Amino acid sequence: MEKVSKARKRIIFRLTATEAAEVSIGGDFNNWNAQKHLLRRKPGGIWEAAVMLPPGQYEYKFKVDEVWCNDPANNHMCDNPFGTRNNVLSVEDRK
* C-alpha to C-alpha distance for 77 and 45, rounded to whole angstroms: 25
**Residue 76 CA, distance from chain mean position:** 12
**DSSP state at residue 92:** P
CATH architecture under which domain 9-91 falls: Sandwich (2.60)
Q: Where are the domains of the chain?
A: 9-91
Neighbouring CB atoms inside 10 A of 86's CB total: 23
| 95 band by pLDDT with thresholds 50, 70 and 90 | low
To which H or E segment does residue 88 belong? strand 85-91
Q: Give the pLDDT confidence of 28-72 residue by residue, as tens digits.
A: 999 999 999 999 999 999 999 999 999 999 999 999 999 999 999
- What is residue 40's predicted lDDT score, i.e. its pLDDT? 97
Does the model's pTM come out above 0.75?
yes
